[in-house]
Amino acid sequence: MAILRIDASIQGPNSASSALADLVEKELAGAPIVRRHLATDPIPADAWANAIQGTYAPAEHRTDAHRSALALAGELAAELRSADAAILALPFYNYGVSQHVKAWFDLAMAGGEQGEKFLDGKPAVVLTTRGGAYGPGTPRDGWDHNTDYLRRVVGDIWGAELILIEREFTLVGVNPALDAFTETAELMHKTAAEAASAAGRVLASR
């Protein structure tokens, strides 16, 4: 089984989403993994625009920037197509999908056919983490513009068998204003960690 793992946290070794992805990976017993870290090796900000422009430009009129962007788009699309499963550690930033993750989604889709189901019928574990709490009844209920987008693209557009794992309150213990939620945060962490390990066993069984 070939696994595609995408990380996107800007937190380095302190990343909550990457820590959950590590738990998934731990269950895979050394399966080959193609890795891409969108925070440490970001997609160029102009790559998507250049890929789209290059797609519609006659080959003889394409610039070096067009050709480079099209090649990268094809590479990203090929990584998705060739994966038997995916582990996507994509944290929530500023109420939505971070710009470096959106750039990856956009460019990968530019490298495929319109609406191509890159992960059709394949398991994909999406791990998303949030510093605060955004569920029903919280002051910021409805402010999460990240999770539904991930469901739509990975599950509905790319056709994956989606396993979505969420963890909130990752800033408890970091931001003193959240100290009152320590017990809740610990339970959320435990639940997410258990779900990540279980997801890894699902991937290992394929």
Hey, what are 110's tokens?
């530019």
For 52, list phi and psi in degrees, rounded to 5: -65, -45
What's this model's pTM, rounded to 2 decimal places? 0.95
Q: How many structural domains are present in the chain?
A: 1
Tens of pLDDT along 22-78? 999 999 988 899 999 999 999 999 999 999 999 999 999 999 999 999 999 999 999
Give dist(CA 21, CA 37) in Å, integer.
Answer: 12
Give dist(CA 78, CA 88) in Å, integer.
Answer: 16
Tens of pLDDT along 151-197? 999 999 999 999 999 999 999 999 999 999 999 999 999 999 999 99
- Which domain covers residue 165, as residue numbers? 3-205
* SS3 assignment, position 35: strand
DSSP label of 8: -
Q: Are strands 96-97 and 85-89 parallel, antiparallel or unpaired?
A: unpaired
Amino acid at 120: D
Q: What is the CATH number of the domain that holds 124?
A: 3.40.50.360
Q: Count of residues for the chain?
A: 206
- 3-state helix vs strand vs coil in the chain, percent to 5: 50, 15, 35
